[in-house]
Amino acid sequence: MKFKSFLLAAAMMAAPCSFAQQISPLTKAVLRGYDEILKENPKDYATLYQRATQYYKLSMYDNALIDISKALDCTPDKEKDMRIDEFSMLADIYIQTKDYDKAMNAVDKALELSPRDYALLYKKGNIALYLKKPEEAYNSFAAMQRIKSRSQEAFFGMARADIMMNRKEDARNLITEAQNVDPSNYLTYCRVGELYEEMGEDENAATSYLSGFSLADGKSSRPLESLIFLANKNFNAVDNALKYAISRTSNTDPLYFLQASIAYNSGNYNQAYEGFKKLLESRDGQIGSVYATMALCSMNLNKFNEASTYADLAIIKDNTTENQIVKATVELAAGNAPAALLACTKALKVSPTSTEALTLAALANVALDDPQSAIKTLNEAIMTDPTDIYAKMIKAYVNLDIIKDSKEAVADYTRIANSTEPENFKEASYKALAQCLGGKKLDADATMEKALRDKADKTKDDYYYAAVYYAQSGNLEKAKSMIDNALTLGYQNLYNLYTNKTVNLNIAPIRHLLSKQ
């Protein structure tokens, strides 16, 4: 893989997913058309099925369930293909609502009508896995394999069932079979990696993801995301796989870049710092993106002079909006608000709607005791991206603590609290904090407790954001417990631990309880 392709792939990050579907005017028109047809003939099973399909695509599962149930009641037995499709759709709806017993019942009825349907057997196998019925799952996937002898889906499914039954050697053999079906496809290695993770063999998983990353050649971020996700859980496994790969090639720069990038993105800043330093010893490594990431890495380790120098070098190499934002970020962290504001101004000249630059400019204006300018730029940021919780939290702080407009601040916090469901743990902690600062402490505690309860595999960053909530809401003992959990998992962000003073979004109230790292 070429170095530039490595850089492109390593820079790719997952875009935040949205749980709320927006209904387009065209879709609304289609739904109105179905409504009109069904007014004329409420038992038109074909239209009921089509409308159920449309509702399903919109994640409107209750509506879809009503329509598909009516369709099944109205569809004659002789319409075999239609009834198969309807039962299959019914199973899909129950899968989405996590009612797996009913999903299994629906797919079994479809299979009674078409026992050798490959797609239905696959669906049944996966439902059986959800129900923790590995033998039933295995039999369904094996039936698929009898229909298509080289079915990769069947091999992967049987392997997953074998893992669940603790038949790891059989699973390994099936993994090999699956891999041989499509050995040049990066997705194959992503799925193999997931199976090794299920077996608790993280180093094999890391090696598989690394193979997938190499084969993807910048076309997909999935292998890199898998590596970063695994590194959050077991950094040593990923690091060891990369060290082995580095030992097997003379073209080490791309792998050093990948190693340092994964260390950085998984919050292992000490290792990232050493990795980027090694990379910068090579002329090929002396590029803007490396200097920029090194600046942020240095900032997170409280090395502010180095952070500023690296940010300047990033701009010299590549004077982009992104690198000016990095400059603003590190200068603001170092307490140099004028330099931060200047960098934001330069970024906004090129990208006037950059919400990140607008928010950083607002924070710089707060530090410079200019709250009105801060409110103005925050309003611009929120108008540009109404879902930006971070900008809204800062705006509420400025209104409450600086301008002393408690009415507007409470309105800000209420808007945050009443917004759509958080997409990640960080946003959940911000929502809880908004509820607390808006005067609804009981609701806030419930939101935070639910977030902690719902996420089984909490990361060190999750615990940090939980600590922010509890520190700012006054529960210092709980905050300290959360930080201890983060540190146990290897939390290395010294800036957040000991320096960060960002408005109401820090752990300052418990810093006196921390020992220096």
Continuous H helices in 318-353: 321-333, 337-350
Phi-psi region of 490 (alpha: psi -120 to 50; beta: other; left: phi over 0): left
Confidence class for position 346, pLDDT limits 50, 70, 90:
very high
- CB hemisphere CA count around 86 (13 angstroms): 25
Q: Is 493 left (phi over 0), alpha (psi -120 to 50) or beta?
A: beta
Q: Which residue, among 289, 286, 235, has the nearest Cα to 11 in the 3D structure?
A: 289
CB 466, CB 448: distance < 8 Å: yes
When the pLDDT of each residue in the chain is averaged and rounded to a whole number, the result is 92
How many separate helices (H) and strands (E) can be counted in the chain? 29, 0
- The per-residue pLDDT for 256 is 87
Token readout for 293 is 């990431």
Rg (CA), the chain: 27
Q: What are phi and psi of 421, to 5 degrees?
A: -60, 140
What are the phi and psi torsion angles at 149 (to 5°)? -65, -25
Range in 5-14, 214-223, 258-267 the model is least confident about: 5-14
Residue 168 · residue 145 · CB < 8 Å: no
- Average pLDDT of the residues in 226-252: 90
| Confidence at residue 2, expressed as pLDDT on a 0 to 100 scale | 46
Whether residue 366 contacts residue 503, with contact meaning beta carbons closer than 8 Å, is answered with yes
State yes or no: pLDDT of 240 exceeds 90: yes
* Residue-wise pLDDT tens digits, 406-439: 999 999 999 999 876 788 999 999 999 999 999 9
Distance between CA atoms of residues 330 and 343, nearest Å: 10
Interval 190-218 mean pLDDT: 94
pLDDT at 253: 81
Identity at 460, one-letter amino acid code: K
Residue 22: the pLDDT is: 55
What percent of the chain is modeled with pLDDT above 70?
Answer: 95
Averaged pLDDT for residues 260-287: 91
Residue 120: pLDDT over 50 = yes
On the question of pLDDT at 500 being above 80, the answer is: yes
Distance CA 15, CA 354 (A): 16
Predicted pLDDT at 101: 97
For residue 181, give Cα distances in angstroms to 187, 219, 294.
12, 21, 41
Query: Which residues, in sequence order, are CB contacts of 243 under 8 Å at separation 6+?
Result: 259
Instruction: List alpha helices for 78-185, DSSP H.
Output: 80-96, 100-113, 118-130, 134-147, 152-164, 168-181
pLDDT digits (tens, 9 = 90+) for 30-74: 899 999 999 999 999 999 999 999 999 999 999 999 999 999 999
pTM: 0.76
| Alpha-carbon separation of residue 77 from 70, 80, 92, 266, 307 (angstroms) | 14, 6, 21, 55, 71
Q: What is the pLDDT of residue 284?
A: 82
pLDDT at 517: 62
User: Quick one: pLDDT at residue 481?
Assistant: 97
